[in-house]
Amino acid sequence: MIGRRGIVAGLLGGLVAGCTKVAQSGPGGRLLDAVEDWNRAVHRALTKRTALAREFAPAEISPTFRGNGTIQPDGFDYMMQQAAEFAGWRLAVDGLVERPLTLTLDQLKALPQRTQITRHDCVEGWSAIGQWTGPQLSRLLRLAGLRPEARYIVFHCADRLSGSPYYESIDLIDAFHPQTIVAHALNGAPLPVKNGAPLRLRVERQLGYKHAKYLQRIEAVASLRGIGGGKGGYWEDRGYQWYAGI
């Protein structure tokens, strides 16, 4: 993970530089304190980003997990796939990768799986607890091999809202977070159409709109400019925060 390693290297570099300056300036207690404060702040920020979201017990699963936003994509291609129970669905992993992938649902299910019971929080003011299953996104990205220029992962969806394609994006810290998965099952059954069949992102440290449904393509990019309205997501292009941490 270039991101984290880069930050840690920068941090060590900063500490070494700090120590040299302290050594040069004699009793530099104040400077050392400042470096320590900075170190602590960076460390706190990093642990916050990489901490696990709370996981719940099976008894806490919501009896119904409502659908929000698109609950039935109305494109012809999607409806044909739906009629065939998504037997022909393919997930592309491409962009700034060494080995572009096209994966069937069976191939995704054959990878090691993660199952997690988490709470979904929508900005519109509702929450639901559900159990999600699927391969970790990190595994797909390692299979494809990210190129060093990759900075963001973009999720292209099969639906449109008010005429524009739904899409989302996250940085590499969230992309490699252990609870970031490409889910094909909700509560032990194939994903219902209203919840994003046949594949949706779960990015558990962020709000509901980041959890892209109807996933067709995962693209590694260096910049979010030029995709949609350029702000990194359908709702971001309409004024929502790009980083929607919870």
Ligand X SMILES: Nc1nc2c(c(=O)[nH]1)N[C@H]1C(S)=C(S)[C@@H](COP(=O)(O)O)O[C@H]1N2
Q: Which CB, 140 or 207, lies closer to Mo ion?
A: 207
Q: Which CB, 152 or 209, lies closer to ligand X?
A: 209
Surface-to-core class of residue 111, CB atoms within 10 Å of its CB (0-12 exposed, 13-18 middle, 19+ buried): middle
Q: How far is the CB of 21 from ligand X (least distance, A)?
A: 48
* CA distances for 201 relative to 14, 46, 136, 195, angstroms: 36, 22, 10, 11
Count of H-run helices and E-run strands, the chain: 6, 11
Number of residues that bind Mo ion (CB under 5 A): 3
Q: For ligand X, which stretch binds (CB under 6 A), given 49-57, 64-72, 90-98, 101-109?
A: 64-72
Q: Which does 211 bind (CB under 5 to 8 A by kind): ligand X, Mo ion, none?
A: ligand X
Number of residues that bind ligand X (CB under 6 A): 19
Q: Which CB, 119 or 151, lies closer to ligand X?
A: 119
CB 105 within 8 A of CB 89: yes
Within 102-141, the residues that bind ligand X by CB under 6 A are 122
User: What are the backbone dihedrals phi and psi of residue 69, each rounded to the nearest 5 degrees, phi first?
Assistant: 70, -135
> Which of 208, 228, 232, 233 is in the footprint of ligand X by CB under 6 A?
208
209 binds ligand X (CB under 6 A): yes
> Which of 105, 137, 159, 193 is in the footprint of ligand X by CB under 6 A?
159
> Which of 118, 211, 227, 236 is in the footprint of ligand X by CB under 6 A?
211
Whole-number Å distance between alpha carbons of 235 and 214: 16
- Cα 73 to chain centroid distance, Å, stands at 22
Cα dihedral sign for 207, 208, 209, 211?
positive
Count of other CB atoms within 10 angstroms of residue 5: 9
Q: For Mo ion, which stretch binds (CB under 5 A), given 122-130, 176-184, 194-202, 212-220?
A: 122-130
Q: Which CB, 177 or 210, lies closer to ligand X?
A: 210
What percent of the chain is helix, strand and coil (3-state, nearest 5)? 35, 30, 40
CB 155 within 8 A of CB 169: yes
209 binds Mo ion (CB under 5 A): yes
CB 123 within 8 A of CB 208: yes
Q: For 69, which DSSP code?
A: S
89 binds ligand X (CB under 6 A): no
Instruction: Give the x-and-dash track for 186-205 against ligand X (CB under 6 A).
Output: --------xxx---------
Interacting residue ranges for Mo ion, rule: CB under 5 A: 122, 208-209
Interacting residue ranges for ligand X, rule: CB under 6 A: 66-70, 122, 157, 159, 161, 166, 194-196, 208-209, 211-214
